[in-house]
A and B are shown apart, each in its own frame.
Chain A
Amino acid sequence: MKLKTHAEEAAEFIKDDARTHWHDDTLWHVRSNRDRSAQGIPEWETLRDTASATKDYVLSHIDELLEQFEANAKANGVEVLWAKDGKEHNQHVYRILQENKVKNIVKSKSILTEECGLNHYLEKKGYDVVDTDLGERIIQFAKQTPSHIVLPAIHLKKQDIGDIFHNHIGTKAGASDPNYLTEAARQHLRKKFVQANAAITGVNFGIAETGGFVVCTNEGNADMGTHLADVHIACMGIEKLIPRAADLGVFLRLLARSATGQSITNYSSHFHRPAEGKKLYIILVDNGRTDQLGREDFKNSLKCIRCGACMNTCPIYRRSGGHSYNYTVPGPIGSILSPGRDLKKYSSLPFASTLCGSCSDVCPVKINIHEQLYKWRQVIAENTDMDRSKKLSMKVAGMTFGKPVLYDLAGKVARTALKITPKSLVYSSINVWGRHRDLPEVPKESFKEWYKKNRKQ
């Protein structure tokens, strides 16, 4: 079966024009909140530089930091396990559940367990895994996957959620009031928390210096789960490490502000030792991360703290929906991470970008996202039998960007061409993107020309 490209997948999403606009506006609103919040912090750029440099240190010392982390965690009474891939991670979880005779599991949002396919694996083994983040619970009921890493159900309207809850937890038919629905979910999930024997969480930051880790939520669901259950399993990608506890000052200031514009998540929980009589496990997962570390052009993607800002700002993501990426982490950063996992399968994702650079501008750890996307395009052009028209336009783009004179000339030609191109050509079936887009107003002169004329001497 031929794999669907991002554009083909997106075509499904944009069939509903009103919904596409609504999705676009909603995410833009989140992005605007981020801007307002960042602008309220005079030292914002210093924070970003420091976060990025701290992660550079982490990536270049990650073996030492992992060993330090493990030794400290063990000394704290935590059991530390290592997993090469998703399969081994899932096997560890399964063994722990069996050893502790666990029946009921609550989980709080973890993109890593999504990446490893944990829910599916455990369900096949007969376990009922309850996702407790409200957004995750909604899509779990709907048998979908998250469409966004911070806002998993952002693609659904309240009427959709009302229908889902009506079918699964018996709310009134047609009800769509968020207060009413959240209250119903609260009552439903409280029962699950009280019954659970094990809680699985992700990890936002692992602290090498202390062997502890931090989990951030707004709902408090990670805490409700872990403090009531006897077993806590924390699943952590190896790149989540930071060297010192005090580095959290930088990262916690950046994370929530970049994600949704709030100053901090309402709960930032620091776990170091299991409570008396309870058990705490940490699984350190590679699953392709060490490979990415060896890719000079792409290793920076491992600095990602999963804030989702690059998704909220991406003009393509906002108009095509997270599911069109077909990968656990969608949007610009997902389009960098996925080709490293499977170049063929994800070969269309690095093209799902305008290369406008907005993602790199908002990224709190200053990952050069759009440059990496451009680099992946070149790798893909060389290594796959990408369609000819894309290959050709890549070559032309490469030549043009490389020679300023050509670039200027191309701009002039394009400005004229855009003016005289008949709409029938732009909106032809050959041009996938043109189908849903109107042409921009063509500027009479380029910025460079304008600048030359108007700059003050």
Chain B
Amino acid sequence: MTSKEAILGAIKKNKPAASPLPDLLKFSDETNLIERYEKGLTGNGGKLQVVDTLEELDAFVKENYTNDQLIASLVDEVNGNVDVSKISNPHDLEHVELAILNGELGVSENGAIWMPENNVVHRVLPFIAQHLIIVIREETLLTNMHQAYEKVNVADGGYGVFIAGPSKTADIEQSLVIGAHGPRSLTVFLVKK
């Protein structure tokens, strides 16, 4: 008997009487989504910039980063100096200072942004960069995680992640430290309608 057969056999013998599968939950939409989103994001250590156009993002990058720092941008409105599509080995991203990515949607209750594999090209990019900027559009803002899973097919790509803040830890006496292994900062640029 294989281990699979043994385990399934033991389950058949031991499992309780059938219980019904509950319906999926739905809750009504909230208002003030931007305000709520900001609260969610900053609670996790991220920062929000609400902008009218992405020119403001471009200006922000020019102001805060120099040309000798490696910048990988997958947002059309901003030019980086690392062409991610030409990189075949993810280890070559080790020294990226800033990654700029497009997020699919934002969740107000907790600041999370859905980031499918297609939007990052290399799965490691949003983690290995020293700093991270994500662009989301106001019209993609949702109230809660239930709505997010209604919108997203998580099995579409090979990988996808909800990013809700920068890399952080509180493993040393519960003191919050931002920048454990991954990005030392997350700034979300939210483009108004």
Binding site for B on A (CB under 8 A): 26, 29-30, 41, 43, 46-47, 50, 53-54, 56-57, 59-63, 66-67, 76, 82-84, 88, 132-135, 138, 151-154, 156-158, 161, 178-179, 181-183, 185-186, 189-190, 193-194, 207, 210-212, 218-221, 223-224, 226-228, 238, 243-250, 252-253, 260, 262-275, 284, 286, 290-291, 293-294, 296, 299
A158/B91 in contact, CB under 8 A: no
Q: Write the nearest CB–CB distance from A241 to chain B, whole angstroms.
A: 11
Cβ A249 vs Cβ B7 within 8 A: no
Task: Let me know if B25 is at the binding interface, CB within 8 A.
Answer: yes
**The residue from A244, A273, A290 contacting B159, defined by CB atoms under 8 A apart:** A273
Q: How far is the CB of B86 from chain A (nearest CB, A)?
A: 16
Chain B interface (Cβ within 8 Å of chain A)?
A: 2-4, 6-8, 10-22, 24-25, 27, 40, 43-45, 90-91, 94, 109-112, 122-124, 127-128, 144-146, 148-150, 153-155, 157-175, 177, 179-183
A227–B157 alpha-carbon span in the complex (Å): 15
CA distance A299 to B181 in the complex (A): 38
A278 to chain B, nearest CB (A): 10
**Known contacts A182-B169, A286-B10; 4 further A-B pairs (Cβ under 8 A):** A26-B173, A178-B175, A238-B7, A267-B167
Cα–Cα, bound, A57→B21 (Å): 5
Query: Given A227-B90, A246-B150, A249-B24, does the pair A59, B172 have CB atoms closer than 8 Å?
Result: no
Chain B: which residue is nearest A165 at the CB level? B172
Interfacial chain A residues near B20, Cβ < 8 Å: 53, 57
Given known contacts A212-B154, A227-B90, A263-B109, A249 and B145 CB-to-CB distance under 8 angstroms: yes
Q: Are A227 and B123 in contact (CB under 8 A)?
A: yes
Q: Report the separation of the CA atoms of residues A416 and B51 in the bound assembly, to the nearest whole angstrom.
A: 69
Whether B22 pairs with A224 at a CB distance below 8 angstroms is no
- How far is A182 from B179 in the complex, measured between Cα atoms in Å? 8
For A266, list chain B residues within 8 Å (CB): 44-45, 163-168
State A161–B168 Cα separation when bound (angstroms).
Answer: 18
With CB as the reference atom, state the residue of chain B lying closest to A65: B11
Give the distance to chain B from A199, nearest Cβ to Cβ, in Å. 11
Find the A residue at minimum CB distance from B156: A272
Q: Is the CB–CB distance between B179 and A186 below 8 Å? A: yes
In the complex, chain A residues whose CB is within 8 Å of the CB of B160:
269-270
A-B contact pairs, 6 of them (CB 8 A): A59-B15, A84-B3, A220-B167, A267-B182, A271-B159, A290-B11
Asked if A82 and B3 make an inter-chain contact with CB atoms under 8 angstroms apart, the answer reads yes
Residue of A nearest to B128 (CB): A224
Q: Could you tell me if A262 and B43 are in contact, using CB atoms closer than 8 angstroms? A: yes
Report Cα–Cα, A443/B137, bound state, in Å: 60
Q: Which residues of B contact A62 (CB under 8 A)?
A: 11, 15
Q: Is the interface of A mostly helix, strand, loop or mixed?
A: helix
Q: Which residues of A contact B171 (CB under 8 A)?
A: 133-135, 138, 151-153
Report the Cα distance A389→B109, complex, angstroms: 52
Whether the pair B8, A56 counts as a contact (CB closer than 8 A) is no
Say whether A30 contacts B177, CB under 8 Å: no
The minimal Cβ–Cβ distance linking B77 to chain A, given in whole angstroms, is 26
* Distance from A375 Cβ to chain B, minimum over Cβ atoms (Å): 16
Contact of A263 among B12, B17, B43, B170 (CB under 8 A): B43
Partner of A189, one of B4, B17, B168, B181: B181
Q: Which residues of B contact A30 (CB under 8 A)?
A: 174
* Interface pair A264/B164, CB less than 8 Å apart: yes
B12, B19, B150 — which one has the most chain A CB atoms within 10 A of its CB? B19
* Nearest opposing residue in chain B for A214, CB measure: B154
Report how far A53 CA is from B19 CA in the complex, Å.
Answer: 8
Distance in angstroms from A40 CB to nearest chain B CB is 9
- Residues from chain A with a CB closer than 8 A to the CB of B17 are 60
Contact of A294 among B13, B123, B144 (CB under 8 A): B13
CA distance A61 to B21 in the complex (A): 10
